């Protein structure tokens, strides 16, 4: 049996080719890793605040601030009217009690001018009652106005929520596009490396 030398030309060629392939693959893999590591610095991810509808949100904030001032004024006015109403109620209650006591006294004394004086006292008491009713009407009007302001505030709050939802959709879309861009760039880098690896494996077979 003839002895074949271990280091034949074909075997040496395969060894050299293998070493070159492995070295080149290692170099490209390292280069690719560095490239992929620096990739995030090449593209700036979208920022959430960049997709805020600042103009519309600013307009809604001004409307909200104006309504808040209006509501504060109504609240202050309602407190003042409420105090006046309480005072008018106390006065009316006191005058009514005095009128009832006076009637009892007149019934006991039996004054001949009782009817005329009773009418005068009743008229005066009715004047106090009208004062109470007037303050109550004013208070109801103020409360209705304040309630209308609160409804406007609630409507603006819903509008702001809708604006934020729309802004969030735009941001999510931009984020998806950014992720797709990064994925494609990584794929462009990885595919050649994968091809080299496949070629190297085929050469080793």
**Tens-digit pLDDT profile for residues 139-176:** 999 999 999 999 999 999 999 999 999 999 999 999 99
Predicted confidence (pLDDT) per residue in 13-37, tens digit: 677 766 766 676 666 666 666 666 6
Mean pLDDT of 49-69: 93
DSSP 158: H
pLDDT of residue 1: 44
DSSP 43: S
DSSP letter string, 172-203? HHHHHHHHHHHHHHHHHHHHHHHHHHHHHHHH
Q: Please, are residues 142 and 95 in contact by the beta-carbon 8 Å criterion?
A: no
Annotated domain spans of the chain: 65-189
119 or 134: which carries more pLDDT confidence?
A: 134
Burial of 171 (0-12, 13-18, 19+ CB in 10 A): middle
pLDDT bucket at 44, cuts 50 / 70 / 90:
confident
Q: Please, are residues 186 and 36 in contact by the beta-carbon 8 Å criterion?
A: yes
């Amino acid at each position: 049996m003839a002895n074949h030398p271990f280091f034949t030309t074909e075997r040496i060629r395969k060894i050299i080719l293998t070493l070159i392939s492995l070295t080149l693959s290692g170099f490209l893999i390292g280069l690719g890793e560095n490239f992929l590591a620096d990739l995030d610095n090449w593209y700036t991810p979208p920022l959430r605040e960049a997709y805020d509808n600042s103009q519309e949100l600013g307009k809604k904030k001004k409307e909200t601030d104006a309504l808040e001032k209006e509501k504060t004024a109504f609240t202050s006015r309602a407190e003042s009217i409420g105090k006046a109403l309480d005072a008018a109620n106390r006065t009316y209650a006191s005058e009514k009690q005095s009128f009832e006591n006076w009637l009892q006294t007149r019934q006991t004394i039996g004054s001949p001018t009782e009817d005329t004086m009773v009418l005068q006292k009743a008229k005066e008491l009715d004047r106090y009652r009208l004062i109470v009713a007037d303050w109550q009407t004013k208070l109801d009007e103020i409360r209705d106005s304040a309630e209308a302001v609160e409804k406007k505030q609630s409507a603006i709050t819903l509008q702001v929520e809708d604006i934020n939802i729309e802004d969030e959709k735009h941001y999510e879309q931009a984020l998806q596009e950014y992720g797709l861009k990064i994925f494609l760039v990584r794929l462009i880098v990885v595919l050649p490396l994968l091809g080299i690896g496949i070629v190297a494996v085929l050469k080793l077979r």
